[in-house]
Structure 1
Amino acid sequence: MLCSAPLRAQNADPQLGAVARLDGEITLESERRDLLVGIPLSQPVPWRTRLLADPPRAVVDFRTLDWGDLDPATIPLDGQATALRTGNAGSGWSRLVIELDQPMGFTRAGLTSDAETGAARLALRLSPIDEADFARQAAALAATDNGIPDSALRGGGGRAPLGMRPTLVVLDPGHGGVDPGAVHEGTQEANVTLTFARELAEALERTGRYEVVLTRDSDVFVSLEARITVAHAAQADVFLSLHADALADGEAVGATVYTLAEGAADAAATALAERHDRDDLMGGGVDLTGTDDTVAGVLMDMARVQTRPATDRLARALVGGIRDADLHMHRHPWQQAAFSVLKSPSVPSVLVELGFLSSDADRARLGDRRWRTQMERALIAALDTWVAGEVALQDLRLR
């Protein structure tokens, strides 16, 4: 049974200064034991999800979204939903809270947009899970502030320049939770990237030269926008997204470094970008309040222009570090693709395909702890090279 309530008005809330608004009916649909939620928007907007306990609740936050005069009490409830609330979550975020009559977890969460009208729709599926699974997921998300790890929430104000403090690296293990990523011969990309990220984080911190924040530290779903938000909340110096994909032709072999391009370099890069991206979300780091889509895009492009040279130097250092360690690389080791997770305007961001699960040789390497240690050391050496270069450039600018 499909339940919905009309949006009675679309007047902007001056406290939000929203650039997007609710643009139709919020729908609740019971499908067997699952609850489907549809939220129509006037345009794509950054969003994030979490679970809260006592009572069980599903929470969705939207960046600068105006609810208008919507009265949640007028929305007929269906399935496991017992109450619905909306409000201002602070710092420009709008919140939707769905109270549930039993523990449920997100098994689908994706934003789609219409290329012609610019309108967007967030589709959520909540499925029953047992108390233990709910507690684990809720605990993982409770350790975050709306999807941002506590370790990423740092005080404002100026920081010592690079080289006079530990370099802060955000490691982003690709996929997770309801999204296993590539799966080949029983091996899931989400598990491979999480294992490698944990090991790399430990190795980086042991040097004393780096602080590390993980976008996820367990098998949970994290939206693309939330991954970018972590980097900005942490005031990251570097963002490394880690993947290990599989291609249908099975011919790709070796590590590959990707940087952002509006158009992919080749068909394979296009396929990988489409696989990794659930939706094409705006990045953070630039104040877009009160701007329309065109102006927001220009502002973010300008910020990326400033960051691009540092990103290119980072990619060059990573390729050099992996090659110096005599580790196998793809025949085109540095490529560009339109990965949404790299669209952070103000943080040098690189995606590293550690290897391809579709390659027997790469899959064996990824499962070999000794090989992973070699790759971790290569990446650390590359980061050392990059930091030294950035510090030297920084010193030149100050002269």
Structure 2
Amino acid sequence: MSRLFAALILTIWGSAALAQDFSGLARVDATQSRIEDSRTGAVLSLSLSQGVPWRAYTLDAPARLVLDFREVQWDGLRADDFDRADAASQVRFGGFRPGWSRMVIDLSQPMTVAQAEMRILPDSGAAMLKLDMAQATPEEFAARSGAPRDPRWDLPAPSLSDAAPPRPMGEGPVIVVLDPGHGGIDPGAEHDGITEKDLMLTFARELRDVLRRAGGFDVVLTRDDDRFVSLERRVALAHEMRAHVFLSLHADALAQGQAHGATVHVLDDEASDAATRLLAERHDRDDLLSGVDLNGQDDVVAGILMDLARQETEPRTERLARSLVGGLQAAGGPVNRRPLRRGAFSVLKAADIPSVLIEVGFLSSPRDAENLKDPDWRLGIARGIRDGLVQWVADDLARAGLRRQ
């Protein structure tokens, strides 16, 4: 799909469109935008106040249509504002990274893009984007799907060749990377008008302040505003910052509604209880729904080196998690009755950085939701995490001489 559809979009854009100097932000007119069933599949019509560079492609597992735009304003719009047919089960849109916007449509059946064009009205400059989708077999859809790689749209491919190793612990401040979950197009869990992405960004800033006041910590956030950051990029940022520790912060929701209290998760591809498995699938699915391809194969040598690094990192991560649980308990929690859990979270897969995922609470729990909205309660939890980190740093430094150099 990537080669075929990249060629299609380049034809649609044309060199003149690429060179056109669009100014300001394009606004979406939801009243003139819709997704309709058609005899052969579906038709997407998107009305914009002006023409902008754009591209579209499909992704598999789950089946979805992804549209990227340069400078589109979504403020004030809701997914329910768009009339949609049976062909579209869900619509998402929002910021992808600064200056770029994304719309993701979950498809109820495999459909490929048969025709696509953006028409510009010469008198007003307004634009209408129209995509005709045609039904396809699962095999045909999978074969034609994939994210195109284009330097005009994508960030440079991540490279770790220039990344220096972390400064040894004890030689200067401990570098902590805080990762407020979700962001931009991906709101995370939602409850009573509050989104997980906003709540965790607020908490990450509060925790950053608590750690800085404690002394001995340099703190970096993977995002400091409402933007989408892929799971892969979050891990890459930790490497770029030469982090000593990585904390991913969440306040999720489980449909069963049975999860209560804080939990700390460490990476384990095998041991995963049902709740942790659901959370891991949810977090990774959020990334997939935003059109990010996390697939990649390590060669044999890189795999061996990472396995060696994990032999040193895993016991340190285990002690980090237990120390954080202790800090949360001492702060009054509440913590889950099984506070330490293991699962296959992609965001924890840095082989050389102790990394944990903290579910500060669950928005699906009424008690936790009320706690999470309370600034005083969050401050207590931030102090508990601080105390757990301080204890872990002291313990890790004491054990440094025992580790293989």
Q: Are the counterparts in 2 of residues 224 and 340 from structure 1 also a CA contact under 8 Å?
A: yes
Residue aligning to 2:260: 253
Equivalent-residue separation in structure 1 for 2:220 and 2:381 (angstroms): 19
Q: Give 1:199's aligned amino acid.
A: E
Alignment check: 8 A CA contact 1:250 1:359 kept = yes
What is aligned with 2:239? Answer: 232
How far apart are residue 57 of structure 1 and its match?
7.2
The 5 A counterparts of 1:127-276 are 160-263=167-270, 265-276=272-283
CA displacement at 1:146 relative to structure 2: 6.1
Q: What SS does structure 1 have at the residue aligned with 2:327?
A: helix
Tell whether 2:337 aligns with 1:331. Answer: yes
CA contact (8 A) 2:277 2:344 kept: yes
Over 3 Å counting, the alpha-carbon distance change for 1:4 and 1:323 in structure 2 is closer
Equivalent pair of 1:26/1:38 in contact (CA under 8 Å) = no
Structure 2: 5+ residue stretches without partners? 14-43, 48-53, 61-67, 73-97, 103-114, 121-125, 130-138
Q: Cα deviations across residues 142-186 of structure 1 (Å, max 9, x unaligned)?
A: xxx8699xxxx9x97676531231100000000011100011222
Aligned to 1:38: 57
Distance in 2 between residues matched to 1:395 and 1:80, nearest whole Å: 67
Deviation per CA, 1:341-367, whole angstroms, max 9, x where unpaired?
Answer: 111111111000000001111011101
Residue number in structure 2 paired with 1:382: 388
Distance in 2 (CA, whole Å) between partners of 1:50 and 1:166 is 41
TM-score, normalised via structure 1 length: 0.63
The residue correspondences of 1:24-103 to structure 2 (distance < 5 A) are 28=9, 31-33=44-46, 35-38=54-57, 78-79=117-118
The offset of 1:248, in angstroms, is 1.1
User: 1:120–1:232: structure 2 CA closer, same or farther, 3 Å change rule?
Assistant: farther
Q: Which amino acid in structure 2 is aligned with residue 206 of structure 1?
A: R
Between the aligned residues of both structures, percent identity stands at 44
Question: Which region of structure 1 is more displaced relative to structure 2, 228-237 or 319-328?
Answer: 319-328
Q: CA deviation at 1:265?
A: 1.9
Q: Read off the aligned partner of 1:389 and give its amino acid letter.
A: D
Contact 1:325 1:374 (8 Å CA) reproduced:
yes
- Tell me: CA distance 1:237–1:27, structure 2 relative to 1, closer, same or farther (3 Å): farther
CA contact (8 A) 1:255 1:328 kept: yes
Q: How many angstroms apart in 1 are the aligned matches of 2:363 and 2:179?
A: 18
AA matched with 1:38: Y
Q: Answer whether contact 1:175 1:190 (CA < 8 A) is retained.
A: yes
Aligned mates of 1:341, 1:200 — CA distance in 2: 19
CA deviation after TM superposition for structure 1 residue 32, in Å: 2.4
How many residues are matched?
A: 295
Please identify the structure whose Cα radius of gyration is greater: 2
Shift of 1:395: 3.9
Cα 1:203/1:25, change in 2 over 3 Å: same
Equivalent in 296, 308, 316 of residue 310 of structure 1: 316
Q: CA deviation at 1:206?
A: 1.7
1:282–1:343 contact (8 Å) kept in structure 2: no
SS at match of 2:264: strand
Give the 3-state SS of the residue equivalent to 2:381 in structure 1. helix
TM value normalised by structure 2:
0.62
| Bigger mean CA deviation after superposition, 220-229 or 183-192 | 183-192
Structure 1: gaps of 5 or more residues: 7-23, 42-48, 61-75, 82-100, 105-113, 125-137
Distance 1:147 1:185, change over 3 A: farther
* 2-structure distance, mates of 1:146, 1:252: 39
Alpha carbons of 1:193 and 1:147: their partners in 2 closer, same or farther (altered >3 Å)?
A: farther
Amino acid corresponding to residue 253 of structure 2 in structure 1: A
Alignment partners' CA distance in 2, 1:38 and 1:251: 38
Matched, 1:352 2:358: yes
